[in-house]
Structure 1
Amino acid sequence: MERTFVKTGGDPRGEAAGLRWLGAAQRVGGAHVADVISVDERRLETAWVDEARPSADAARAFGAALARTHAAGADGWGRPADGWSGPAWMGRSRTPLVTDPEGAPETWGAFFAEHRIRVFSRLLRDAGAIDEEETAVLDRLADVLEGGSLDAPQPRLVSESGHPAARVHGDMWAGNVLYDGTARGATLIDPMAHGGHAETDLATLAVFGFPFLDDVLSGYDEASPLADGWCGRIELHQLGILIMHAHLFGGSYVPASLDIARRYV
């Protein structure tokens, strides 16, 4: 019998939609994604991923493949995966999605301001994790984002695709990218897939460290050159996952999020 991976609890149909949406880009050279075998309201079964030793070559192959996944595009900022049947949020953190196509933000800055910064700032304030002065720091960053000065072009393949947003994994920390010994280097699991900025996935991959990350970035940039100044935006894009962790876990994630916010206002 073929080995599979099963997870239960919650409603995994949205995750399955994300896996399939990201997986559709495999036809055009996108990153390998764990195949969905079956899914219902409580149970998700996916193909087993045999992990392999990381290497520079695998990392470069994964970076190039990820560039093509991003370039497969999305219909708008914050828009969910095709086939999404869940609510207007993802995961335990209830990270917002934009399920109404008419309400999709017109820019990345507007999306990130409202659906990543403001939403978690309110939650942190209401939980007593931040005070009024700290809330004001996050509000100022949201205002700057909405003003557009922190917007930047997508990597070249995404920009040339004609899509308003990249097809992003959305939760691309190291545990959700498994080196697998295949020609595309690694397999993606556990997405919070949506339309976003490609730089967010790459920045998130650096939050907790990832083997041969520099080679991933080199392979990506060779396949789809990153916009000028992208290194200076890494922390800004990391703020999305850090402020989500601040909401879920508190602790050092709260001051880390505030420190980043202050650097951009």
Structure 2
Amino acid sequence: MNPPAVAGGGGLAGLAADVSALLGRDAGDPVPVGGGSICTAARLDGPGGPGAVFAKTLHDAPDGFFAAEAAGLRLLGSTGTVAVPQVLAADRNTLVLEWIEPGPATPSQAERLGRELAALHDVRAAAWGPAGPGFLGRLPLPSPTGPPPAAPEDWAAFHAEHRLLPFLRQAAGDGAMAPADVRSVERVCELLPRIAGAPRPPALIHGDLWSGNVLFAADGRARLVDPAAQGGDPEADLAMLELFGCPQMPRILAAYEEVRPVPGRRERVALHQLHPLLVHAALFGGHYGAAAGRAAREALSRA
């Protein structure tokens, strides 16, 4: 998730011992790595080891928190479309990945990322939502109690019931949403079958694709990190990437659309930004509730 920066719950104390235990070798001393808003992250480069690793920790993490992230990374990597860091180890409170050396966001790297995202979004998912537990920040992703819906025409009801309304209720209950903004989001949910465009089958998406989860690398190939991988609408990934800004965004989109054009996508950007804005309102409060209300009204005006 996107900051504001919030101190991670686990801290660096004990991280080296946890990573050493998971890897079965001396992981070295942790060097803090910034960029996240939920976990505490570090680079560790143990003496005589095979190389640096990236680790992050969260004290009292929800059940399945890091297991879900590890599973999502493995799932995305298994498609052979996008690049992700190798998962080295995970337990309840810690995740260890290979270290990817950051690099500049070059035009060629951005264009490759756009093409790779297009290829990812051509991978069909079995149903709407994640195959197992999923999280955005610390918040669990709600899922149906019965068999997950899978038909193209099921998306609108699934999205309203399991992606918009739960986070709207939480944000409103915490005082992060004004009544007028709540009504605007509720109206979007009512009209979603009409404003969502033509039904499409579920595709495999990253699910939390803000710019901080795109790691431009020194080797020239961007990696995707911290996914909430699930069956979803590909427009959600692109809309979230635009929401908080991403280096070389025009080149990413142009390369994507050369491979996988999506008619009418520009008119639906606000609609697909509504979910991450509601999640941010529930997590962080602040101005995100008002931003969700504006996005809802824009989506309604473009309908």
When normalised by structure 1's length, the TM-score is 0.85
Contact kept? 2:70, 2:90, Cα under 8 Å: yes
Does residue 14 of structure 1 match 2:68? yes
Aligned position for 1:109: 156
Q: Which letter does structure 2 place at the counterpart of 1:247?
A: A
> d(CA) in 2 for partners of 1:188 and 1:93?
20
Q: Does the CA contact (< 8 Å) of 1:91 and 1:192 recur in 2?
A: no
**Number of residue-to-residue matches in the alignment:** 245
Higher helix share: 1
Structure 1, residues 95-114: CA drift from partner, whole Å, max 9, x if none?
32447434567432222211
**Aligned partners of 1:58 and 1:181 also within 8 Å:** no
Distance 1:3 1:237 in 2: 37
- Provide the rounded CA distance (Å) in 1 between the counterparts of 2:70 and 2:252: 25
Q: CA RMSD in A?
A: 2.0
Q: 2:95 aligns with which of 14, 39, 44?
A: 44
1:14 partner letter: A
Pairing 1:167–2:214 present: no
CA contact (8 A) 1:90 1:97 kept: no
Match for residue 252 of structure 1? 287
Contact 2:114 2:253 in 1 (8 A): yes
**Residue pair 1:97, 1:194 contacting (<8 A) in 2 also:** no
Distance 1:107 1:148 in 2: 13
The structure 1 residue matched to 2:214, chosen from 174, 177, 187, is: 177
Q: What residue identity is the alignment partner of 1:56?
A: P
Indicate if the aligned counterparts of 1:63 and 1:220 stay in contact, CA closer than 8 A.
Answer: yes
Q: d(CA) in 2 for partners of 1:225 and 1:107? A: 23
Q: Which amino acid aligns with 1:6?
A: A
SS in 1 for 2:79: helix
Q: Could you say which structure has the larger radius of gyration? A: 2
TM-superposed CA distance for 1:254, in Å, is 1.0
Name structure 2 gaps, 5 residues minimum.
Answer: 1-48
Look up the equivalent residue of 1:18 and give its one-letter code: G
- Contact kept? 2:89, 2:97, Cα under 8 Å: yes
Residue in structure 1 matching 2:105, options 41, 54, 72: 54
C-alpha change, 1:103 and 1:31, in structure 2 (3 Å) is: closer
User: 2:177 aligned with 1:92, yes or no?
Assistant: no
TM-score, normalization: structure 2? 0.75
CA contact (8 A) 2:136 2:208 kept: no
Percent identical among aligned pairs is: 38
The more displaced of 7-16 and 169-178 is 7-16
What is the correspondence of 1:216-231 to structure 2 with a 5 Å cutoff? 216-226=252-262, 228-231=263-266
> Residue 96 of structure 1 aligns to a residue in which SS?
coil
Tell me, yes or no, if the aligned pair for 1:77 and 1:98 is still in contact at 8 Å: no
Q: 2:169 aligns with which of 105, 108, 122?
A: 122
